Amino acid sequence: MNTLDTEVGDSGSEKERRGIQSIEVGGQLLLALGAQGRPMPLRELAKAADMAPGKAHPYLVSFAKLGLVTQEASTGYYWLGPTAMQLGLVTLRMLNPVREATPFAEALARETGHSVALSVWGNQGPTIVFLFDAIYPLHTNIRTGTVMSLAGTATGRLFAAYLPAKLIEESLLEDERRLGPDIAASIDRDELQTVVSEIRKHGTSRTINNPTPGVSSFAAPVFDYSGNIVLGITLMGRTRSFDTDWEGKEAAAAKACSEEVSRRLGHHRASVLFR
């Protein structure tokens, strides 16, 4: 490469690192619309983006030409336009919950030192699809492909709390037949409702020394843009070194991980569906 090429390459690299400030500034308006989740008047939108209305307006005019925003004729309020909607739909179609969650689950295992499992609802119930081992030996029967008991595990109870009630009732009837009495746990309707209410209250599912003595866990839900549970993230560790408090560090870590993955899948808290 000659001197001129080197200079051009260095200059281009520096520009790439700096970015284009006007795009970053204008982009705050789009971010503000997305965060608020509703049409907004110019003054309120500009305030949310931390800029003066006179500065915000030219950006909105350009964004409207690109279809990134639209202005309601009756109110003058601004909202996301058809191009923004189309880009969002394309992104959502391409998202893979397990792929999105994997690096976060791996980081959770590394930061806590405990095991982390990713689970989905499969043909036979909640099924482990990824397992990151603890930094210490943890003696459980969980492996990739393991189908978890609905009533007897934190992972299973998590799905029981957020999937349609009819599906869960039918699956509970099959739990013992599929898993056998040593793994499956019986639970009556009232007890299940108490468990479900507790999980929804805390946003996580918990088991202590059950089903494996000496092992405790928290499971947290991952929701997609429509509020449906698509994944469970379960943090597991030795009870003697695992904070089992609902508001403890282990519960907080599992919940923070699941919320970040949910956010990447387009979820907003208000959209969680209970059926």
| Tokens 């990824």 -> residue | 130
Tell which residue, 33, 24, 32, has the closest CA to residue 81. 33
pLDDT for res 228: 92
Residue 90: pLDDT over 80: no
Tell which residue, 96, 100, 104, 219, has the closest CA to residue 150. 219
Span 110-124, pLDDT tens digits: 999 999 999 999 877
Question: 3-93 in CATH: which number?
Answer: 1.10.10.10
Which has the higher per-residue pLDDT, 129 or 268? Answer: 129
- Residue 122 zone, left/alpha/beta (φ > 0; ψ -120 to 50; rest): beta
Rounded Cα–Cα distance for residues 213 and 140 (Å): 9
Beta strand pairing call for 215-223 and 125-132: unpaired
Rounded Cα–Cα distance for residues 114 and 136 (Å): 8
Rounded Cα–Cα distance for residues 108 and 112 (Å): 6
pLDDT for res 273: 61
Average pLDDT, the chain: 85
Domain residue spans in the chain? 3-93, 96-271
Fold of 96-271: Beta-Lactamase (3.30.450)
* pLDDT band, residue 93 (cuts 50/70/90): low
Residue 222: pLDDT over 80: yes
Rounded Cα–Cα distance for residues 229 and 272 (Å): 8
79 C-beta neighbours (distance < 10 Å), count: 18
Span 36-66, pLDDT tens digits: 888 999 999 999 999 999 999 999 999 999 9
* pLDDT band, residue 185 (cuts 50/70/90): low
Helical segments of the chain, H only:
3-18, 21-36, 42-48, 53-66, 82-94, 97-112, 154-162, 165-179, 189-202, 249-264
* pLDDT band, residue 238 (cuts 50/70/90): very high
Residue 8: pLDDT over 60: no
| Tokens 């191009």 -> residue | 83
Residue 175: pLDDT over 60: yes
Lowest mean pLDDT among 23-37, 227-241, 250-264: 23-37
Residue 5: pLDDT over 90: no
Rounded Cα–Cα distance for residues 120 and 229 (Å): 9
Residues facing residue 80 across a β-bridge: 69
Rounded Cα–Cα distance for residues 96 and 226 (Å): 15
pLDDT for res 13: 47
pLDDT for res 179: 55
In this structure, are residues 78 and 70 in contact, taking their beta carbons and an 8 Å threshold?
A: yes
